[in-house]
Each structure stands twice: as C-alpha cells, then as structure tokens.
Amino acid sequence: MSEYLPMKKLNMIEAINDALDVMMARDSNIVVMGEDVGYFGGVFRATAGLQKKYGRTRVFDTPISECGIIGVAVGMGAYGLRPVPEIQFADYIYPGLDQLVSEAARLRYRSAGEFTAPITVRSPFGGGIFGGQTHSQSPEALFTHVAGLKTVIPSTPHDAKGLLIAAIEDNDPVIFFEPKRIYNGPFNGYYDKPVEPWSRHPDGAVPEGYYRIPLGKARVVREGEAMTVLAYGTMVHVAEAVLADKGVDAEIIDLRTLVPLDIETIEASVRKTGKCLIVHEATRTGGFGAELSALVQERCFYALEAPIERVTGFDTPYPHSLEWAYFPGPVRIGEAVDRLLKA
Amino acid sequence: MTEAPKDLWRSNLPPLQLHVPEPKFRPGDAVDYNHLVIPAAGAQARPDESCAASETHPLCLDLVRVLGEDHRAVGPWDPKLDPETLRRMLRLMALTRAFDDRMYRGQRQGKTSFYMKCTGEEATSIAPAMALASDDMVFPSYRQQGILIARSYPMVDMINQIYSNKADKLKGRQLPIMYSAREASFFSISGNLATQYPQAVGWAMASAIKGDTRIAAAWLGEGSTAEGDFHSAMTFAAVYNAPVVFNVVNNQWAISSFSGFAGAERTTFAARAIGYGIAGLRVDGNDPLAVYAATRWAANRARANGGPTLIEHFTYRAEGHSTSDDPGQYRSQAERTEWPLGDPVTRLARHLEALGEWSDEAHAAMDLELAEQVKAAAKAAEANGVLGHGLHHPFRTLFEDVFEELPWHLKEQSEQAIRERRIKWPEWKEDNA
C-alpha cells in the first residue's frame, strides 16, 4: 500500500516525528509526553513542533520520573486515551519497570480484558555515540522476556514510520526502541569513515501520510544462499556492510519486531542456507540472540551445516573511551562469518 | 561483619548509631495509648473547598473528627446526613463485615486459597464510596471491598472471583479479592503495592484532558507510602493539578511492620501533602462521618479544578493482614481492644441511637438479615464451584488475553498444554472443563 503514496526523504527522527504527527491528527486520544518533549521537542527533536500543532494538553513535558511517566500512561490508557510516552534514553527506563512489567503487560490478562494498556513507549537505545554506560544500553531482552509486551526496533526511516504507526494502533503495550546511532544515517560499523545521510539511502524515502508496517513481520533486506543473518536496528547495516565487503552471498533478515517474532521467515531462510549468524549490540548472556539461537536449533537442527554463531556486545557495562572495542563491529562479525564459511 | 577502622574509635567523636524503629507493644505487653493525641470532635476548622492548599496544612497534623464521646455529630465537618443515609452507611459497613466473616470462614474451610478482611476499616471505603459520584473512577488497594459493596456490585460476582470458579469474570487468573469491575468504575487491583497511585493520576489527567467531570480516587496503606510510585504520583498530581483524591489508610500495621517503618515516628502521613504543596487532611478513620465529610470536601475541590487532596485515615487493622498471617506473633492482642478510636460500625450505630433512629434490636435484626444475604450469595457462588474442584474456566483461557490476538508461540504452548492434559487424562476434552 505504501508504494502508492508520494514519497519524501526523511531521516529517522523526521520519520518518527511524521508518524506521531499523522497519528495525532487522526486520533484525538493520542497524547505524547516525556521529559523535554513539549515546547523543546525532545532532546533528539523527535517531537519537535507537535506541541505547537496539537496543544499543551496533548504534548507535554513531564517530571523526571519514569515510574510516574509509565504509571500515568497506564491510567490514561484505562481511561481510553492512547498515550505515547517517551523515555529519554533506554538506560533510564528501569524506574518504570514495575509499571511496565507488573502493570501494563498484565493488565489485559489480570482483568480478563476489562482494562487494557494501549501504550507505545518510545525510547532511543543502543550505543556508538560515545554516550558511556548510561546513554548506550540495549535492554531489549528485559522486555522480550515479559509476557504481554511487544518489542519493536526499526532500522530505517521507512520502517520507523510504518512500525510506529502500527505500534500506536496496537491495543497492547509496545516497547519501541529507536537505534539512535542510525537516527541520521545508516551507520555501517566503520566508525573511522564518514556516515552516509539517510537522504542517499533508498530506505530514507518515506511515504507521506498514513501507512503501517504490521508488527510481527520481518524484512528480508537481501536474499542470499551462503548463510542467514538475523539482526535488528543498527546491526542490520553493520552486518550488511561487512558481508558486502567480504562478497558473501548472505540472506540478511531485519527482524523489526522481536515479540511477536516472524518465525516463519527465519525458519524458511535457515532451511535454505543451512547456516545462521545472529548479531546484536546488547550484552551476550541471556540476550535475545540466545532465544533466537534456541529457536533456530529447535526448528532447523537437521538443516544446519554449522554451529549457530552469535555476535554480540561483551558482558560488561558499555564503556566510554573503549566504545569501539565493545561494539560488535566489522572485525567481530567478520570472524564469525569466516567460521561459518569454513564449516 | 566489617569492623570500623581502629583509629576512628580513638577520635573524640561519638560512634554513629543506627536507629531501627520498634513498636511500643509486642505480644503479651499491656497496651497504653496515652501517647496518641486524640483531639476533641468538632474542634477542627473546615477551610473552604477552594482555599489555598496551605490552609489545610495545619489539618495534616491534626485529626478531623465529627462523632464525639456522646455519639453526637459536632463541628464544621459534620456532613449533616439524614437518618436514612446514615442507616444506609451503617448497613453497608455491617454488610462488608458480614461478607468478610463468611469469606474468612470459606477460606478456612478450604473453598479458596486466600482472603483479606477489612475489619475495623470499613468506614475508609464505605464512606468515601458514598461521598464520591458513582462513576468516579476508583483505584483501590486490596482492602477496599467496601467500595464494591457500596456500589451495589453483585456479591455473587465477588465470591465467584474469590472462589476462582467457572463464573469468575476474571477467569480464575487473579488471587482472591483482586477484583476488577469496570462497570462499577473500579480498577483492576494489583498485588504490587502503590502502582495504582500514578495510574489514578493518569486517569484523572485524562479526564481533565478530555474536559470530563469525573474524578479519580486511589487508596493504599501507610506502609506503601514508602514506594517510589507514591511519590511519583504526588509529584505528577501536584504538577498537573490533577483531579484526584489520595487515600492513605493508616491502619498502623503493614503485615508485621508497624507504621514506624514507613516514617510515622517523624511525622504524619497526611503531612506528605505539605511537601508537595497539595491539600491534605488527617481524619479519624473510624469516624464514618469524618471520612465522608473529608472525601466530599476533597471531591468537590477536585471537581472544581482545585486539584488533588491527600487524606490520611487514622485507623487500626483489627485482624491479621490476611488469612496467611498471624498477628499474635508480632503485636499485642490488647491493641485492638484498647484502640482509642473505637469501632466504626459501633460508633455509627451509637450515633443513630443518640438520634433516636436506631436500636440494639434493629441492629441485631439487621445483622441476622445481612448474614442470610451473604449466605445466600455464597451458596449461589458455590454452585459455580470452589477453588480446585474442577469447575474452573475452559482450559484455553489460560493463554487468552496475554495479547489481544494469540501469537504463534502462545498457540504452540497452548497445544502443548492440551497434549499434557491428554497424557494425564486420555478421555479429557475441552468440553468437560
């Protein structure tokens, strides 16, 4: 449907802003709130201009209290609003965890559908911006572990808009993590080289107006035969660049939604290629890669020709000066690709 | 244990001492409540509902009381309710108590896993429910069953929930008494404490965003005021002037921890309002007329865009925390009998008697009638089954409502659960459930 709409070139922040704008115009029950999101328009400018357009009772600043932000959103959802709170950095989300895990995620179940939490929690996540340990984390596995939460991570402006619209329309709580390293361009992991802006990338073309990308549907970035690469967010672009450099005919799958997961696309690809590489920036132990690895092993064991490879961040806090030693960049991915090719 | 460095002990400074609060009375102790300051009924000023929040702040350290020692209603807080309304209030409190007694026995008889009584605290839910509009949204904690009773929610449905039976509207998913009743504007109860406080603020903010006229009210115990959620809620309510009434039911005990572990040795719970700059009232929670008047004051203020009010209800938890608790292990049993603010049901009955509108005979007849009413409801609910007796919800409901739609992984797990059941009971069919 989106291909019939006129397109415009946007970076990921503009695409997110556009999605919020489109939805706020369509549905007066949508409210946007968070630290610095009102007059100022957010520290990353994702909500710029929205307060001026929709007024202070629909777009407003909040106290610095993530527990309060999420808790208030749950109450607004119970009233009938569709809140889209912003948590300024994913690293700050923990004070709101009880409200997400014990309340938003379980409300439909515990009330047998009397009350629901149609909330989309937007939050910039991931590193590669010299943010140190409090502005770089990738905590998605904490949320994929919780029954009742959906977790969505876009990797392009085109997807960010369509997925955010679908998330806002979803009647269940959605964690929408925005990979802030690729807000302005598809960073490919070569940190010593300049980053291309989204305006030069095909997925920087974003349809105007309303369009949605269904949750639970992965995107095949590139078809290939040599191996299946499962990635999301920033790592989609890093993996793509490394495999292109190495001239490997890999099938790259951008998961887009971690829960619900598009298992069909994953299974079909691994059955075809016989090899699987999983890449994420988050810490390794108990990361979402472990879940992916278990699923692929359970479902595709007899098609596998090599051990499943996981490339991840290290099990340390996100360092500041040694950021690029931590980041699962081209060298770490390249080593895993070589192992799979030799197997 | 790490020892302090030796040279520290040689300094002239006294060693620091950690204060760990300890209640005045433990099991076996004689109880003397002389240290509690109980002001005379009627002595507290009643500021205008539209006053500056600071005008209420002296009341945060006082105690609003209406019913005096002579059982007469006195002073500016007297809500001047007619005898019929007073009798209704009495009846609802007595019905709540009769319900608690029956459900407590039901738990002891093995009909359910768990129950929580509100004995001695009935006024803190019945009187507010009567003072609020019936469609004001309430965000209760786990001891406000009186609100559902006051809002005429079907008692059979409450018991179905307690028994987790096939007619339980919550499909047997929640611990007994964790009701949810949207039709009664009663929010789903959480076992995680104080989470309902910011939610109530959010609901109230939404109501204000939409230009509605309904307000929100929330309850929690004094122990839960220590949770971060309480303080987040206070901040948000103050910042956005949210139309919400906060109730802190200070029943002195959080399971075995006395109120000192929530800060009661330092100041009152109502005094939290002073720091946030919102209106606050401290009320004799065993005086149903004072509770009614305070709630009405706060509700009128909120409805007129006057903002939030924090009400501390000073009361006493006469029974254990729950059926899983034995208060004889940690507090003196004499506390209940010595409690200087009496019992709310008795106090309201005496007030009606003083008005010539009630009698012991009428009271005894009412208690009998209410016991029969509860018994009939319990019997009707038992026909739908009791916990663990097979009459539960269809098996598939285990996986429903996690999400609006069943994703593939839950479909797979649902099939597994059915497979497991057929291994155990080969004849089992979903229809048998």
B271 contact partners, CB below 8 Å, separation of at least 6: B60, B61, B280
Minimum distance, in Å, between the CA of residue B121 and any CA atom of chain A: 26
The reply to whether A81 touches chain B by the CB within 8 Å rule is yes
By C-alpha distance, the chain B residue nearest A260 is: B407
Do residues A162 and A228 share a domain?
no
Same-domain pairing of A336 and A264: yes
Using CB atoms, which residue from A63, A79, A108 is nearest to B239? A63
Query: Is-catalytic flag, B317?
Result: yes
At B398, the amino acid letter reads L
A261 touches chain B (CB under 8 A): yes
User: How large is the C-alpha radius of gyration of chain A?
Assistant: 19
What's residue B403's pLDDT?
98
Inter-chain CB proximity A78 and B203 less than 8 Å: yes
Residues A159 and A258 grouped into a single domain:
no
Separation between Cα atoms, residue B110 and residue B393, nearest integer Å: 19
Mark whether A233 and A330 lie in a shared domain: yes
| Beta carbons of A36 and A69 less than 8 angstroms apart | no
**pLDDT of residue A327 exceeding 50:** yes
- A315: in domain: yes
* Cα(B88)–Cα(B366) distance, integer angstroms: 11
A27-79 pLDDT, tens digit per residue, is 999 999 999 999 999 999 999 999 999 999 999 999 999 999 999 999 999 99
Compute the Cα dihedral for B218, B220, B225, B230 and give only its sign.
Answer: negative
Give the C-alpha separation, B409 to B356, whole Å: 67
What are the C-alpha distances in Å from A140 to residues A31, A253, A302, B179? 24, 18, 30, 32
Q: Give me the residues of chain B with pLDDT under 70, please.
A: 1-10, 431-433
| Contact between chains at A113 and B209 (C-beta distance less than 8 A) | no
- pTM higher than 0.95, yes or no? yes
Domain limits at A71? 7-182
Strand A251-254: give its sheet, edge to edge.
A219-222, A251-254, A228-231, A276-283, A309-313
CATH number at residue A137: 3.40.50.970
- Residue A329 region by backbone torsions, left for phi larger than 0, else alpha for psi between -120 and 50, else beta: beta
Size of interface A-B (CB pairs under 8 A): 144
Query: Which has the closest alpha carbon to A248: A230, A265, A223?
Result: A223
Establish if A36 belongs to a structural domain: yes
Structure confidence at residue A3 as a pLDDT band (50, 70, 90): low
In a shared domain, residues A53 and A155: yes
**Cα(B285)–Cα(B244) distance, integer angstroms:** 19
Q: Which residues of A touch B203 (CB under 8 A)?
A: 75-76, 78-79
CB contact under 8 A, B236 and A108: no
Please report, for residues A206, A209, A213, the alpha-carbon distance to residue A4 in angstroms, rounded to integers and kept in the order given.
11, 11, 14
Distances (CA, A) of B358 to B89, B121, B149, B347: 13, 22, 22, 12
Give the number of residues written for chain A. 343
- The three-class DSSP label of residue A288 is helix
Residues of B in contact with A74 (CB under 8 A): 198-199, 202
pLDDT tens for each residue of A246-279: 999 999 999 999 999 999 999 999 999 999 999 9
Within 10 A of B133 (CB to CB), how many other CB atoms are there?
12
Residue of B nearest to A146 (CA): B402
Reported for B29-35, long-range contacts at CB under 8 A and 24+ positions apart, including other chains, are B29/B332, B29/B334, B30/B332, B30/B334, B31/B332, B31/B334, B31/B335, B31/B337, B31/B338, B32/B338, B33/B338, B33/B339, B33/B340
Give me the catalytic one of B91, B330, B350, B389.
B330
A195 assigned to some structural domain: no
Do A29 and A114 lie in a common domain? Answer: yes
Please report the beta strands in A112-198, taking only residues with DSSP state E, as ranges in sequence order: 120-125, 150-152, 174-179
One domain, residues A44 and A139: yes
Judged by a CB distance cut-off of 8 A, whether residue A63 touches chain B is yes
Query: Does A178 lie in the same domain as A30?
Result: yes
Inter-residue contact A26 to A57 (CB < 8 Å): no
Q: CB within 8 A of B208, min separation 6: which ones?
A: A57, B240, B242, B243, B305
User: Which residues of A are annotated as catalytic?
Assistant: 135
Say whether A115 and B201 touch across the interface (CB within 8 A): no
Residues 284-343 of A with CB under 8 A from B: none
Q: Do residue A174 and residue A240 come from a single domain? A: no
In a domain, A2, yes or no: no
Q: Is B292 assigned a catalytic role?
A: no
User: For A111, which of B139, B170, B204 is closest by C-beta distance?
Assistant: B170
Q: How far apart are CA A120 and CA A85, in angstroms?
A: 7
Contact between A71 and B202 using a beta-carbon 8 Å cutoff: yes
- Which domains can be identified in chain B, with CATH numbers? 53-382 (3.40.50.970), 396-432 (no CATH)
Residue A173, domain member (yes or no): yes
Give chain A positions within 8 Å (CB) of B402: 108-109, 147-148
> CB B201 to CB A65 under 8 A?
no
Average pLDDT of chain A is 97
Identify the three-state secondary structure at position A339: helix
Give the count of domains, chain A.
2
The partner residue sitting opposite B403, judged by closest CB among A72, A172, A261, is A172
> Is A204 among the domain residues?
no
For A75, the closest of B206, B235, B239 (CB atoms) is B206
Across residues A306-329, what is the average pLDDT?
97
Over chain B, what HEC string results?
CCCCCHHHHCCCCCCCCCCCCCCCCCCCCCCCCCCCCCCCCCCCCCCCCCCCHHHHHHHHHCCECCECCCCCECCCCCCCCCHHHHHHHHHHHHHHHHHHHHHHHHHHCCCCCCCCCCCCCCHHHHHHHHHCCCCCEEECCCCCHHHHHHCCCCHHHHHHHHHCCCCCCCCCCCCCCCCCEHHHCECCCCCCCCCHHHHHHHHHHHHHHCCCCCCEEEEEEHHHHHCHHHHHHHHHHHHHCCCEEEEEEECCEECCEEHHHHCCCCCCCCCHHHHHCCEEEEEECCCHHHHHHHHHHHHHHHHCCCCCEEEEEECCCCCCCCCCCCHHHCCCCHHHHHCCCCCHHHHHHHHHHHCCCCCHHHHHHHHHHHHHHHHHHHHHHHCCCCCCCCCCCCHHHHCCCCCCCCCHHHHHHHHHHHHHHHHHCCCCCHHHC
Smallest CA-to-CA distance from B100 within B371, B388, B379 is with B371
Q: Which of residues 174-213 of A touch B (CB under 8 A)?
A: none
ipTM of the complex: 0.97
pLDDT-derived band of residue A2, with 50, 70 and 90 as boundaries? low
Q: Is residue A207 part of a domain?
A: no
Q: Are residues A123 and A268 in the same domain?
A: no
Chain B nearest CA to A134, separation (Å): 21
Please, are residues B138 and B186 in contact by the beta-carbon 8 Å criterion?
Answer: yes
Which residue in B321, B347, B392, B393 is the catalytic one?
Answer: B321
- Same domain? A142 vs A222: no
A176, with CB counted inside 10 A (0-12, 13-18, 19+), is buried
Using alpha carbons, select from A30, A38, A91 the residue that is nearest to residue A63: A38
**Per-residue model confidence (pLDDT) at position B428:** 85
Contacts of B230 (CB under 8 A, 6+ apart): B194, B197, B220, B224, B272
Nearest CA in chain B to A64: B232
Residue A67 lies in a domain: yes
Sort out which chain B residues have CB atoms less than 8 A from A24's CB and list them: none
Indicate the residue of A63, A70, A77 with minimum beta-carbon distance to B235: A63
CA-to-CA distance for B79 and A341, rounded, in angstroms? 83
Indicate the residue among A139, A165, A182 that finishes a domain: A182
**% of chain A with per-residue pLDDT over 90:** 98
What is the CATH number for A221? 3.40.50.920
**In a shared domain, residues A109 and A44:** yes
